[in-house]
Amino acid sequence: MRICIFGAGAVGSHLAVRLALAGHEVSCVMRGPHLAAVKADGLTLRVGGEEFSARVNASDDPATLGLQDFVVSTLKATGLGSLVAGLPPLLRDDTAIVFAQNGIPWWYDIGLPSDHPPAPDLAFLDPGGRLRAVIARQRIVGGVIFSANEIAAPGIVVNNSTDRNMLLVGECDDRASERIERLRAALVEASILSPPEPRIRDAIWTKLIGNMSVSVLCLLTGQTVKAAVQDPALRDIVPRLLEEAQAIGRSCYPDTRRNTRGGAPADHKPSLLQDYERGRTMEIDALARAPAAFARMAGLSTPMLDLLTALAIRQARDKGLYREPA
């Protein structure tokens, strides 16, 4: 298949290498030194003691990459605006767009199943409705990524979750479809786990429970997930945060619980902390403010999460890394 990874940073580059080595025609929209290195020497993925390299068609201009079967957006929530102009040259009539991002996605209320409670106003995740104006409902595929990666140097990505790499995918209205089966098969063939997921929003909440609590705590403390969870000073804080986060998820899906994926906590800095340390605009709205809107909609009291969210916004704003919603 022809697959374009749009916004191929750490996670996207990992997917690109795996899919290319599985025999797919992979293109990447990327920029800067990472793009220059990939054009010159290809893309390299380091996993444990192994190293995998692949040649991909990389460019900062989507118009040069041709029409695709799937476009997989691995952009942060704060970077999705680049899709507005970048997507059209990649799209055939039947091209699907997979949104593999953290947090509540901009499309959450589109195709909402009848048994799901009404969603709050999430317009701040798509300022001006620009994404809704150019992306038709039938193209939307939800994605939830479990994979810890970092760019060690331009053109080189290190995977820090050697046995925990998974991309869950599903239609925005939860219906079964042939294209989801094709995509899942391609991912599994590329050594990316992709078990069936009948309710993609349930999977979104499953991951978000950790992101809206522990990841924000890591941002405020500068710790890895493992260090924060095992810090004696935070022993009573982490369970209270997770309890509040889980209550929000369960207001939408009563059986939702945090997915620990087995094993010890990852000794890895979550992407929110990586963005802060590297001076990148931070996706606090998708990870924290949007879940808080669901909590208010459900009448839940979440004082711990409200405090962490306010502190995270203040910390990011002081560094110029948070954009106030319009």
The number of distinct structural domains making up the chain is 2
DSSP secondary structure letter of residue 265: P
Dump pLDDT digits (tens) for 298-321: 999 999 999 999 999 999 999 999
Q: 129: helix, coil or strand? A: helix
- Residue 10 — pLDDT band, cuts 50, 70, 90? very high
Rounded distance, CA 10 to CA 30, Å?
11
Domain boundary among 167, 198, 229: 198
DSSP secondary structure letter of residue 80: G
Same structural domain for residues 193 and 207? no
Same structural domain for residues 180 and 156? yes
Torsion angle in degrees (nearest 10) through CA of 272, 87, 10, 321: -30
Rounded distance, CA 132 to CA 126, Å?
8
Two tokens, residue 73: 């957006």
The continuous run of DSSP H or E covering 133 comes out as helix 130-134
- Residue 164 — pLDDT band, cuts 50, 70, 90? confident
Q: Which pLDDT does position 108 carry in this prediction?
A: 98
- Residue whose token pair is 């939830």: 144
Domain boundary among 198, 216, 233: 198
Q: Which one from 207, 226, 269, 319 is the annotated catalytic residue?
A: 207
How does the average pLDDT of the chain come out, rounded?
A: 94
Contacts of 114 (CB under 8 A, 6+ apart): none
Same structural domain for residues 165 and 249? no
Same structural domain for residues 179 and 236? no
Pairing of strands 68-73, 2-6: parallel
Provide the CATH number for the domain around residue 84: 3.40.50.720
Q: Which pLDDT does position 263 carry in this prediction?
A: 55
Specify whether 207 is catalytic.
Answer: yes
Same structural domain for residues 232 and 305? yes
Dump pLDDT digits (tens) for 113-148: 999 999 999 999 999 999 999 999 999 999 999 998
Does residue 272 fall inside a structural domain?
yes
Same structural domain for residues 211 and 303? yes
Dump pLDDT digits (tens) for 198-252: 999 999 999 999 999 999 999 999 999 999 999 999 999 999 999 999 999 999 9
DSSP secondary structure letter of residue 215: I
12, pLDDT greater than 90: yes
Same structural domain for residues 153 and 291? no
Q: Which pLDDT does position 257 carry in this prediction?
A: 80
Radius of gyration of the chain (CA): 19
Same structural domain for residues 151 and 265? no
Provide the CATH number for the domain around residue 239: 1.10.1040.10
Provide the domain limits for residue 263: 203-318
178, pLDDT greater than 60: yes
Domain boundary among 198, 223, 238: 198
Q: What are φ and ψ of residue 265, in 5° steps?
A: -60, 145
103, pLDDT greater than 80: yes
179, pLDDT greater than 70: yes
Dump pLDDT digits (tens) for 39-52: 999 999 999 889 99
